[in-house]
Amino acid sequence: MTNDVLRLTMHEAADLLREGKVSSVELTQATFERIRAVNEQVNAFITESEETALAQAARADKMIAGGNENPLTGVPAAIKDAIVTKGVRTTAGSRILEPFVPVYDANVMTLLNEAGFVMIGKTNMDEFAMGSSGENSAFGPTHNPWALDRVPGGSSAGSAAAVACGMAYWALGSDTGGSVRQPGALSGVVGLKPTYGRVSRYGLIAFGSSLDQIGTLTRSVRDAATVLQAIAGHDQRDSTSVPIEVPDYNATIGEGVKGLRVGVPREYFVEGMDSEVREAVEKAVAQLEGLGAEIDTDVSLPSTGHALSVYYIIAPSEASANLARYDGVKYGFSYREGGSMWADMEGTRQYGFGEEVKRRIMIGTYALSTGYYDAYYLKAQKVRTLIRREFDAAFEKHDVLVAPVTPTAAFKIGEKIDDPLQMYLNDVCTIPVNIAGLPGISVPCGFATADDGARLPIGLQVIAKPFDEATMLRVAHAYEQSTTWHEEFPPL
């Protein structure tokens, strides 16, 4: 089997399966051959599950032979290591969970297993999803397949890199401040973050509970729509899961953009934005206009500039509370040389958590402490409400908003790791969407050229009103199908 089959979209691979031109077992074997060939360079996986995957593939072949038409059935996929998987190690990229093997499945895993999908492994990530580059993992940084000396984006770094270079046909990630859309953009794949509450968070290891949302990384917008269709829906085990009907996204995805009102918020073209990124996004906007969309470049979301500050109060505060459960008593890494229970607990956290996680826990604990709660956390929640209201006002006049995903293309590994502020600024275009609980998607829209001549992907962000993923997908699909950026494949 040639490597060409590894460049297919999920739907293209599914068509081959149903036509009998390839079996799921053969696809899965080819995928693991690719992993053995390139993963040492990319470091996209923490845990590979070849034995389980081949058993799932054999089951999928029987399902397909019996007339199963689900495009997810039998197509190899990867899962971010923040999503718990029964019987398969789940680390969240942290030493503190290095030995943890869950005894239950996340809700999304239950749904995917019912669909007959094939899980090839758990992907590398910034520890507890705290990072924008894929460098904060306890298992080493993930490398961008387009330029191995550069980051693939984070925190869903391994998921994006695996899909980008043919180690998986699609993957799940999670997005708290841009952690699906940003690696989607920097790795040249489609990254979709659904509306908060659209997909159950049951079984997603928590970072910021009011911001976290499971999303998808795929090679086409249609693939993203199909995976979202499979994992969306109400779940009683998640109190934030919204009990509303999930539409058939693929039924409307091809309706085009003619007559749709598209707003371009000027605050997203931030100071210091790379000129090639700006130019690529502006050309994408012009492309949408050529396809019949009504473009409005005079859109303002004035509180956008405060979103970064709001996020880095709310998210660490929630992380401080969520990560208090890791004490080494019931599961995971446990330090036992402290001489007392309290010393052991301190040692567990000292040696189990990485530097970025410790930094955010301290920020969050400070923001929630007596005397500072009103000054920081409460004020941040009030500004969060303002940001949401500004989006609501914008969506009264526009069907979608479009913007850059990141201010620059992929930067070099190590370039920003010692400068947290510069690293945090990389999420400036994605964070407001999480703060407002909106859906957003990143679609490839061009390339920047690095000093050494490497081609670095750029992403266009499409943002929609709550639970209107259908319109967002229509716009993203129309743009994608009118260009060839999504057909590019890294030279690795």
- Please list the active-site residues: 80, 155, 179
Helix (H) or strand (E) holding 428: none
Backbone angles phi, psi at 85, to 5 degrees: -130, 120
Give the 3-state secondary structure of residue 83: strand
For 302, the 3-state DSSP assignment is helix
Pairing of strands 440-449, 190-193: antiparallel
**Residue 416 and residue 458 in contact, taking contact as beta carbons nearer than 8 Å:** no
Residues whose CB is less than 8 angstroms from the CB of residue 133 and which lie 6 or more positions away in sequence, other chains included:
126, 141, 151, 153, 154, 157, 411, 413, 416, 417, 423, 426
* Phi/psi of residue 49, nearest 5 degrees: -125, 60
Query: What tokens does 177 get?
Result: 């401040």
Q: Of the candidates 81, 16, 24, 34, which has an alpha carbon nearest to the alpha carbon of residue 54?
A: 24
Q: Distance between CA 32 and CA 358 in Å, rounded?
A: 35
318 in Cβ contact with 285 (< 8 Å): no
Region of residue 182 (left: phi > 0; alpha: psi -120 to 50; beta: else): alpha
DSSP string, 339-356: SSHHHHHHHHHHHHS-HH
Distances in Å between the alpha carbon of 297 and those of 86, 261, 267, 355, 392? 48, 11, 11, 41, 17
Q: How is residue 209 written in tokens?
A: 């509970």
Output phi, psi for 243, to 5 deg. -85, 70
Query: CA quadruple 21, 159, 117, 99: dihedral positive or negative?
Result: positive
Contact between residue 53 and residue 28 where contact means Cβ atoms under 8 Å apart: yes
Residue 91, number of CB atoms within 10 A of its CB = 27
Query: What phi and psi values does residue 428 have, to the nearest 5 degrees?
Result: -60, -30
Q: How far, in Å, CA of 232 to CA of 115, rounded?
A: 13
